[in-house]
């Protein structure tokens, strides 16, 4: 059974710091991995999607890497801003019954202090 | 497109009552997912549909939960009878081909007292 773990559960940093969020999964037979952002009281917004054949994806100040063999992904946020404060979730896709679905981690709650 | 639309945004009900949550997926998406989010268990997949047909309902916690998708533009998640432990945020998501354009609604916050 695929399990997705995110460490740390919560993180508080001063504005301007570079930070790394970690995601690990137990079954390396994934189709892709996606990082989402969730603001309080809101739904999830997709940030970055990495296909299983890729090593990393970048979007602005965000960079996500994937190491399938070790079952790990990291989300790197450069020059953090108070607006980055949110919960970040990673999700891995697996194939089941001929279709695909995502299994989510429990998230990292990030607070960037001004 | 207005995105995935869920209603109501908030629902407070008494234990034992029937609760119906609604979802309108993005037009053209062929997959629809229902998730439940709690502090203790995180985001859990309850059930998903492909072309209006339920594919995997193994995440549905009990027989009190049921979901339908009568057409491509509407789905419901029903809880009957509701219990306090059902209190959570319920999300609906839709996608194309299972993983493309995975989009979440804003969720329904359910409180059962």
Q: What is the pLDDT of residues B45-58, one digit of tens each?
A: 999 999 999 998 98
> Nearest-CA residue of chain B relative to A33?
B99
Identify the pLDDT of residue B31. 93
Identify the pLDDT of residue A29. 87
List beta partners, residue B103. Answer: B94
Identify the pLDDT of residue B80. 97
Q: Compute CA A18 distance to the chain's CA centroid, rounded to the nearest angstrom.
A: 15
Judge whether A48 and A62 are in contact, CB under 8 Å: yes
Q: Is the confidence at residue B100, as pLDDT, over 80?
A: no
pLDDT digits (tens, 9 = 90+) for A27-57: 888 889 999 999 988 889 999 999 889 999 9
Identify the pLDDT of residue A43. 87
**Pick from B48, B106, B107: CB nearest A101:** B48
pLDDT digits (tens, 9 = 90+) for B68-85: 999 999 999 999 999 999
A34 touches chain B (CB under 8 A): yes
pLDDT digits (tens, 9 = 90+) for A56-100: 999 999 999 999 999 999 999 999 999 999 999 999 988 766 667
- Contact state of B42 with A106 under an 8 Å Cβ cutoff: yes
Give strand ranges (E) for chain B: 5-7, 10-13, 19-24, 31-38, 42-50, 53-56, 65-71, 74-79, 88-96, 100-104, 108-112
B107 touches chain A (CB under 8 A): yes
Identify the pLDDT of residue A97. 67
Residues of A in contact with B33 (CB under 8 A): 101
Using alpha carbons, select from B90, B84, B87 the residue that is nearest to residue B67.
B90
Identify the pLDDT of residue B1. 64
pLDDT digits (tens, 9 = 90+) for B5-54: 999 999 999 999 999 999 999 999 999 999 999 988 889 999 999 999 99
Helix, strand, or coil here: B33?
A: strand
What phi and psi, each to the nearest 5 degrees, are found at residue A86?
A: 180, 180
Using alpha carbons, select from B73, B70, B75, B69 the residue that is nearest to residue B90.
B75
Q: Is the confidence at residue B98, as pLDDT, over 80?
A: no
pLDDT digits (tens, 9 = 90+) for A5-25: 999 999 999 999 999 999 999
Provide mean pLDDT across the span B91-111: 89
Identify the pLDDT of residue B38. 92
């Amino acid at each position: 059974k695929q399990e997705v773990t995110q460490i740390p559960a919560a993180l508080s940093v001063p504005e301007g710091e570079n930070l790394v969020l970690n995601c690990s999964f137990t079954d390396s037979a994934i189709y892709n991995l996606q990082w989402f952002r969730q603001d309080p009281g809101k739904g999830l917004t997709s940030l970055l999607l990495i296909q299983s054949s890729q090593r990393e994806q970048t979007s602005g100040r965000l960079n996500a890497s994937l190491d399938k063999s070790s079952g790990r992904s990291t989300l790197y946020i450069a020059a953090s801003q108070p607006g980055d404060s949110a919960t970040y979730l990673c999700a891995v896709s697996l194939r089941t019954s001929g279709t695909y679905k995502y299994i989510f981690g429990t998230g990292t709650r990030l607070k960037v202090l001004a | 497109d207005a995105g995935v639309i869920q209603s109501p945004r908030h629902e407070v009900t008494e234990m034992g009552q029937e609760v119906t949550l609604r979802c309108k997926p993005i037009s053209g998406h062929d997959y629809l997912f229902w998730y439940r989010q709690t502090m203790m268990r995180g985001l859990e997949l309850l059930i998903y549909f492909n072309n209006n047909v339920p594919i995997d309902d193994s995440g549905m916690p009990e027989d009190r939960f049921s979901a339908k998708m009568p057409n491509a533009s509407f789905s419901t998640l029903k809880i009957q009878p509701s219990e306090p432990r059902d209190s959570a945020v319920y999300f609906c998501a839709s996608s194309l081909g299972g993983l493309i354009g995975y989009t979440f609604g804003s969720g329904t916050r359910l409180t059962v007292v």
